[in-house]
């Protein structure tokens, strides 16, 4: 099971199910707060990264959701089921 972990710079989820606060593994989704709002980076299994555009998300829960939704196309079919399950988790603020 994958889960969001609070990190020094924001929040992250390692798609291999490890604790993202304790280690960096690929693939991984990260969100962080910036002066312009939330920013999301999707780190792919091949070592490349892509920025994920986020809509205006007033809460961390909405930024997490938008980060997952925006990362789905880049991550391909392999992680779709786990990510969609994470989207069904009750929202937190």
Question: Which residues are within 8 A (CB) of 48 and not within 5 positions of it... i.e. 6 or more apart?
Answer: none
Residue 16: pLDDT over 60:
yes
Question: Which residues are within 8 A (CB) of 28 and not within 5 positions of it... i.e. 6 or more apart?
Answer: 12, 13, 14, 15, 20, 42, 43
| Residue length of the chain | 93
Name the one residue in this structure whose structure tokens are 């992250």. Answer: 12
Q: Dihedral (C-alpha) 57, 63, 68, 69: value to the nearest 10 degrees? A: -10
SS3 state at 44:
coil
Residue 92: pLDDT over 80:
no
- The CA distances from residue 75 to 33, 59, 72, 82, 92, in Å, are 23, 24, 5, 11, 24
Every domain of the chain and the residues it spans: 8-87
Residue 91: pLDDT over 60:
no
Confidence at residue 39, expressed as pLDDT on a 0 to 100 scale: 96
Is the whole-model pTM more than 0.85?
yes
Mean pLDDT of the chain: 92
Q: What is the pLDDT of residues 42-86, one digit of tens each?
A: 999 999 999 999 978 899 999 999 999 999 999 989 999 989 988
Confidence at residue 89, expressed as pLDDT on a 0 to 100 scale: 67
């Amino acid at each position: 099971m994958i889960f969001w972990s609070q990190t020094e710079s924001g929040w992250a989820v390692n798609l291999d199910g490890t604790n993202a606060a304790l280690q960096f593994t690929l693939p991984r989704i990260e969100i962080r707060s910036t002066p312009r709002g939330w920013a999301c980076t999707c780190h792919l299994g091949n070592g490349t990264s892509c920025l994920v555009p986020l809509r205006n998300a007033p809460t961390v829960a909405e930024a997490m959701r938008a980060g997952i939704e925006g990362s789905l196309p880049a991550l391909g079919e392999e992680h779709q089921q786990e990510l969609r399950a994470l989207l069904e988790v009750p929202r937190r603020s």
